Amino acid sequence: MSRSWGGAPARLRGRSRQCGTVDRLLADVRAGRSRVVVVRGEPGIGKTALLGYAGQSAADSRVARAGGVESEMELPFAALHQLCGPMLDRLDRLPGPQRDALAVAFGLDSGGGPDRFLVGLGVLSLLSEVAMDKPLLCLIDDTQWLDQASAQALAFVARRVDAEPAAVIFGTRDLGAEDDLAGLPDLVLGPLSGADSRELLASAIPGRLDERVRDRIVAESGGNPLALLGFRRGWRGTAGGPDRAEFLAADRFASKDDSAAAAAGSPPNRPATHPCSGELQGALASALAP
């Protein structure tokens, strides 16, 4: 994920096709065509990493960022404010009703709840204004935690952004077709292949790892990069860090199946107990014993 020396951003392991999609999207934007894509996938699968790749690859563009925050889900327009806050010096260039609606939404003016349609139009106009100077890339992550007012406005914008050199890339854990972004072009991130998982694991762990143990870790990770890399963090186990087996038991993210998580006593989409078997924990502990 780190930028390679003096060149293009390093591609993500096992994600050449997806990085290629991002490259083409950015090329379109540079050529003046708008693009939207929704990156979907389970926790830890690499959505934020891919958005990061996009941000690094867009050095010649203006990059605007926002993300859903679970604790701000009840605050109307919180995420929209993150995205548009740095652009508000352009507010005066907007048609009066749109300007007024955004001013109320962002607490710059008093008034009741602003007209949501005008807010959507206002954001669209603001992004168009900014994109006139330079291609614009909006990265909006964790949309499953967007406040409803922002989610509506951003979906409205994504469906209408048209002739501007602007792109919007969303990242979401929502896999269903029922969210505000339903129907927009999407890019679903699946598990890494076995070969890519083994390489990622090998790159994360210096030295030799017993093949049998490695294959079990790869199998139990389900090709999820967070699970594979999380294993490394646990293994390095610096002072105060978790015990290896303890880490493995705790740091695998919950299944995307909320009902299963709820049945297990965990809130949806939160870290939960790793289904890692006691047998594997034992094998790991002895394989990695100093």
Ligand X SMILES: Nc1ncnc2c1ncn2[C@@H]1O[C@H](COP(=O)(O)OP(=O)(O)OP(=O)(O)O)[C@@H](O)[C@H]1O
On whether the CB atoms of residues 145 and 113 are closer than 8 A, the answer is no
> Is 19 a residue that touches ligand X (CB under 6 A)?
no
Nearer to Mg ion, 135 or 171 (CB): 171
Burial of residue 168 (CB within 10 Å: 0-12, 13-18, 19+) is buried
In the region spanning residues 56 to 115, those forming contacts with ligand X, defined by CB under 6 A, are none
> Is 48 a residue that touches Mg ion (CB under 5 A)?
yes
Q: Is 144 helix (H, G, I), strand (E, B) or coil?
A: helix
Using CB under 6 A, which of 226, 248, 254, 280 touches ligand X?
Answer: 226
> Is 44 a residue that touches ligand X (CB under 6 A)?
yes
Using CB under 6 A, which of 40, 90, 173, 198 touches ligand X?
Answer: 173
Q: Which does 46 bind (CB under 5 to 8 A by kind): ligand X, Mg ion, none?
A: ligand X
Size of interface with Mg ion, in residues (CB under 5 A): 2
Smallest separation, CB 9 to Mg ion (Å): 17
Smallest separation, CB 45 to ligand X (Å): 4
> Is 200 a residue that touches ligand X (CB under 6 A)?
yes
Which 8-state DSSP code applies to residue 3?
A: B
Q: Which does 138 bind (CB under 5 to 8 A by kind): ligand X, Mg ion, none?
A: none
Q: Which of 86, 163, 166, 87 is nearest to 126 (CA)?
A: 87
Contacts 24+ apart (CB under 8 A), 245-252: 245/281, 245/284, 245/285, 248/274, 248/276, 248/280, 248/281, 248/284, 249/273, 249/274, 249/276, 249/281, 250/274, 251/227, 252/221, 252/224, 252/227, 252/276
> Is 41 a residue that touches ligand X (CB under 6 A)?
yes
Smallest separation, CB 202 to ligand X (Å): 12
> Is 13 a residue that touches ligand X (CB under 6 A)?
yes
> Is 47 a residue that touches ligand X (CB under 6 A)?
yes
Which residues here bind Mg ion, judged by CB under 5 A?
Answer: 47-48
Which residues here bind ligand X, judged by CB under 6 A?
Answer: 1, 12-15, 41, 43-49, 173, 200, 225-226, 229
